[in-house]
């Protein structure tokens, strides 16, 4: 059983929902990332999404675009992101780590070589925003061979046929994008998400995480009532941006926010 | 690869039904856009076969764009070069001054039939933005054009033209603040407003079906040129030459000749300060394969897969990617891609202006510069057609600044 499967199984038997915080690796500087990941786990994060910086983050709003730019100023390459995951694993071999980003850095490395290196580093899942299942056969095979889960997106525009296609290609969990738009926008409509998730559950038994637009304990709680996992990104990345001048304060500050989100989720379910 | 496999590969219809040209092309976008792209493709396939749509497009191309554009024999230049007979396909004479309008008219008519009320576009030099704003004005549609903040500074006149035509021009402040970032921002708009919005991509790149759809709207260039040269010379040309940024004017000229294997195809990229300096915009000559803006193609990128900044005196060539069909034509050996430096292009710009009384766009000047070397190497019985993709009015400011610095 993969770390991701194990974690969702444990949460289910405890009747809890997963909290998945997202930060961009190397933002605002490389040495902050690993301490922040540990601090978020201590504060109640169940899985971690680590953003791989990319020069052209087409699906992201201004907050995560700026995070990519800050990280790229420090030349945070995909190799360095894997080093950070290795470093994290020295003190935590239980919390699943998912890399989230765009295809090109992995494409240029080569799928098979990247998959081996990522597995060695302790990566559990990969989500490439700009690669739908139609293009993913070779990629998915390479990840599978190295026991890395491939997480795919579904969206409000996805119909039954696409839900089926994504369910067949996905492992670990499925990430449902709550609205038509980019990360960080404020358009969450929980009831329309609930309708869509009901439709999706007819196609898959995988856990379903919901992300985009979750900004506080209240919205996290609302989403936790209908999803298996709650993904929170831009709120945390925005907090990092505000503390870029005092990076030492970032781990504790994010831990406070994660604890607050945790409480919102636990209160709701 | 064996000869048999090779010839079979050439005969297979390209792209395949999911937009692949060999390993290139495809559809690499976030999930939200997958179904809208299916809908776009279905509508496009439908109207491609629809005589009423085609008749309306033909009418617009004739009476609004001003087609057919002439095929002009550059007699003085040919004589002086002392080799092949040089013809210019005069896309510079189109309404709005470049080939871009062939595509925006086609896509906007499609948008209207799909019931979309709002069109968005990205632009670098501003020519595609102007062509989009122009057709939006004519069809009474809302139009938003994304343009990098750096390009807005460089191309103030085109910004003014777009605004005068009623378009909203949005300054893109992210990344390198140029064309690639404008494309990112247009994609972000589309993903947000996909229900009522049609995204008019200006070149033969992006997710399927854009590369094939834009190509089809631009092949009017090559179809006309083919008929015109047969009328004028009684035979096909020996070589076609066009500049390549994203590659829409080049594919538009090349495509109707691809099966005529005796016709050589030359694509000319922006060599900037010289390919060896690294300051250029020549992904086919000096880049490597990768995935950006919805398709797999040749890119300017570093060893970590980050997209690198490009440099060309011509804003229309200043893009780190290229259409996937060009990537395929390069790898299959059917077309040859070369690069021409900024200074060679500027020299060709002046030369055509003096010799033929035609002021070319800086983009097209790259194709002219290559022919200045190619024509003398060919016999006097040979024929070259250059796609003169745009006129140089928009470049007066750039040229004046450069000359000012030189004085």
More confident of the two residues B6 and B180: B180
Cross-chain residue pair A62–B194, CB shorter than 8 Å: no
B191–A180 CB contact, under 8 Å: yes
Averaged pLDDT for residues B226-234: 98
Phi/psi of residue A67, nearest 5 degrees: -65, -40
pLDDT tens, B333-346? Answer: 999 999 999 999 99
Burial class (CB in 10 A: 0-12, 13-18, 19+), A199: middle
Mean pLDDT of A124-134: 97
Q: Which helix (H) or strand (E) holds A62?
A: helix A62-73
- Among candidates A242, A158, A227, A229, which has minimal Cα distance to A8? A229
- Of B353, B352, B349, B350, the C-alpha closest to B365 is B349
Which residues on chain B are in Cβ contact (under 8 Å) with A83?
none
Distance from CA of A118 to the nearest CA of B (A): 15
End-to-end CA distance of chain B: 55
- In terms of DSSP bridges, do strands B20-21 and B85-90 run parallel, antiparallel, or are they unpaired? unpaired
- A34-68: per-residue pLDDT in tens? 999 999 999 999 999 999 999 999 999 999 999 99
Higher pLDDT, A44 or A269: A44
Is the per-residue pLDDT at A225 higher than 80? yes
pLDDT value at position A211? 97
| pLDDT tens digits along B311-368 | 999 989 999 999 999 999 999 999 999 999 999 999 999 999 999 999 999 999 999 9
Residues B304, A62: C-beta atoms closer than 8 Å? no
Q: What is the mean pLDDT of residues B28-57?
A: 97
Contacts of B87 (CB under 8 A, 6+ apart): B71, B72, B73, B74, B229, B232, B237, B383, B384, B385, B386
Average pLDDT over residues B233-257: 98
Q: Is residue B406 pLDDT above 90, yes or no?
A: no
Tens digits of per-residue pLDDT, B119-132? 999 999 899 999 99
Nearest CA in chain B to A80: B304
- CA angle B186–B157–B135, rounded 5-degree value: 55
What is the three-class DSSP state of B272?
Answer: coil
Mean of the pLDDT values across residues B157-184? 94
ipTM for the predicted complex comes to 0.96
Contact yes or no for A146/A125 (Cβ under 8 A) = no
With cut-offs at 50, 70 and 90, classify the pLDDT of residue B153. confident
Q: Locate tokens 């949460």: which residue?
A: A11
Q: Are B93 and B65 in contact (CB under 8 A)?
A: no
Q: How many CB pairs under 8 A join A and B?
A: 123
Residue A62 exposure: Cα atoms within 13 Å on the Cβ side: 5
Condensed to tens digits (0 to 9), the pLDDT of residues A162-216 reads 999 999 999 999 999 999 999 988 889 999 999 999 999 999 999 999 999 999 9
Q: Has B100 been annotated as catalytic? A: yes
| A155 touches B: beta carbon within 8 Å | yes
* pTM, to two decimals: 0.96
Complete edge-to-edge strand list for the sheet that includes strand B168-172 = B168-172, B142-148, B118-123, B197-200
Has residue B1 got a pLDDT over 50? no
* pLDDT, tens digit, 9 for 90 and up, residues B363-388: 999 999 999 999 999 999 999 999 99
Per-chain mean pLDDT for chain A? 97
**pLDDT of B81-121, one tens digit each?**
999 999 999 999 999 999 999 999 999 999 999 999 999 99
pLDDT score for B106: 98
End-to-end CA distance of chain A: 26
CB B173 within 8 A of CB B145: no
pLDDT at B175: 86
Given this structure, which CATH class describes domain A3-268?
A: alpha beta
Q: Is the pLDDT of residue B398 over 80?
A: yes
Q: Which residues of B touch A55 (CB under 8 A)?
A: 175, 306-308
DSSP notation for B197-255: EEEE--SS-SSTTHHHHHHHHHTHHHHHHHHHHHHHHSS--SEEEEEESS-HHHHHHHG
């Amino acid at each position: 059983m993969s770390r991701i499967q194990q974690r969702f199984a444990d949460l289910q038997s405890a009747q809890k929902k997963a909290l998945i915080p997202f930060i961009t690796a190397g933002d605002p500087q490389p040495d902050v990332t690993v301490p922040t990941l540990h601090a978020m786990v201590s504060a109640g994060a169940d899985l971690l999404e680590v953003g791989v910086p990319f020069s052209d983050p087409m699906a992201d709003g201004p907050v995560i675009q700026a995070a990519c730019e800050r990280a790229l100023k420090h030349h945070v390459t995909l190799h360095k992101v894997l080093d950070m995951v290795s470093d994290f694993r020295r003190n935590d071999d239980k919390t699943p780590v998912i890399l989230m980003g765009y295809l090109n850095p992995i494409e240029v490395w080569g799928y098979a070589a990247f998959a081996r290196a990522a597995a060695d580093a302790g990566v559990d899942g990969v989500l490439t925003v700009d690669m739908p299942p139609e293009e993913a056969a070779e990629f998915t095979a390479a990840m599978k061979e190295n026991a890395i889960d491939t997480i795919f997106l579904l969206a409000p525009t996805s119909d039954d046929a696409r839900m089926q296609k994504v369910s067949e290609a996905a492992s670990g969990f499925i990430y449902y994008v709550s609205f038509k738009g980019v990360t960080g926008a404020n358009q969450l409509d929980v009831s329309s998400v609930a309708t869509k998730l009901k439709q999706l559950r007819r196609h898959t038994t995988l856990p379903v995480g919901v992300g985009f637009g979750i900004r506080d304990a209240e919205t996290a709680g609302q989403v936790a009532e209908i999803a298996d996992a709650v993904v929170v990104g831009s709120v945390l990345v925005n907090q990092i941006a505000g503390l870029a001048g005092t990076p030492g304060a970032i781990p504790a500050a994010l831990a406070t926010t994660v604890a607050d989100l945790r409480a919102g989720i636990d209160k709701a379910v | 690869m064996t000869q048999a496999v090779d010839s079979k590969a050439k005969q297979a219809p390209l792209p395949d039904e999911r937009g692949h040209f060999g390993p290139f092309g495809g559809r690499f976008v976030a999930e939200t856009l997958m179904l809208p792209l299916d809908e776009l493709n279905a509508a496009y396939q439908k109207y491609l076969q629809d005589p009423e749509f085609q008749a309306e497009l033909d009418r617009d191309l004739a009476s609004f764009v001003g087609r057919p554009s002439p095929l002009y024999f550059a007699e003085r230049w040919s004589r002086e070069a002392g080799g092949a007979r040089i013809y210019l396909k005069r896309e510079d004479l189109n309404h709005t001054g470049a080939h871009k309008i062939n595509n925006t008219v086609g896509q906007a008519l499609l948008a209207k039939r799909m019931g979309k009320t709002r069109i968005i576009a990205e632009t670098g030099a501003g020519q595609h933005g102007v062509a989009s704003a122009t057709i939006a004005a004519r069809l009474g549609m809302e139009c938003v054009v994304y343009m990098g903040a750096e390009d807005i500074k460089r191309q103030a006149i085109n910004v003014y033209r777009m605004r005068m035509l009623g378009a909203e021009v949005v300054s893109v402040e992210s990344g390198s603040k140029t064309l690639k970032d404008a494309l990112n921002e247009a994609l972000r708009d589309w993903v947000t407003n996909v229900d009522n919005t049609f995204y008019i991509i200006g070149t033969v790149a992006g997710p399927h079906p854009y590369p094939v759809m834009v190509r089809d709207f631009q092949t009017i260039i090559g179809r006309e040129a083919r008929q015109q040269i047969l009328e004028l010379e009684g035979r096909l040309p020996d070589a076609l030459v066009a500049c390549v940024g994203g590659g829409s004017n080049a594919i538009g000229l090349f495509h109707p000749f691809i099966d005529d294997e005796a016709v050589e195809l030359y694509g000319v990229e922006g060599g900037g300060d010289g390919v060896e300096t690294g300051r250029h915009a020549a992904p086919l000559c000096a880049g490597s394969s990768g995935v950006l803006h919805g398709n797999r193609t040749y890119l300017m990128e570093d060893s970590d897969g980050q997209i690198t900044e490009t440099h060309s005196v011509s804003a229309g060539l200043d893009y780190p990617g290229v259409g996937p069909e060009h990537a395929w034509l390069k790898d299959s050996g059917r077309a040859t891609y070369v690069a021409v430096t900024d200074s060679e292009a500027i020299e060709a710009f002046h030369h055509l202006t003096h010799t033929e009384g035609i002021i070319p766009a800086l983009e097209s000047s790259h194709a002219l510069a290559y022919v200045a070397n190619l024509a003398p190497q060919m016999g006097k019985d040979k024929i070259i057609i250059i796609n003169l993709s745009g006129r140089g009015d928009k470049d007066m400011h750039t040229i004046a600044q450069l000359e000012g610095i030189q004085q």
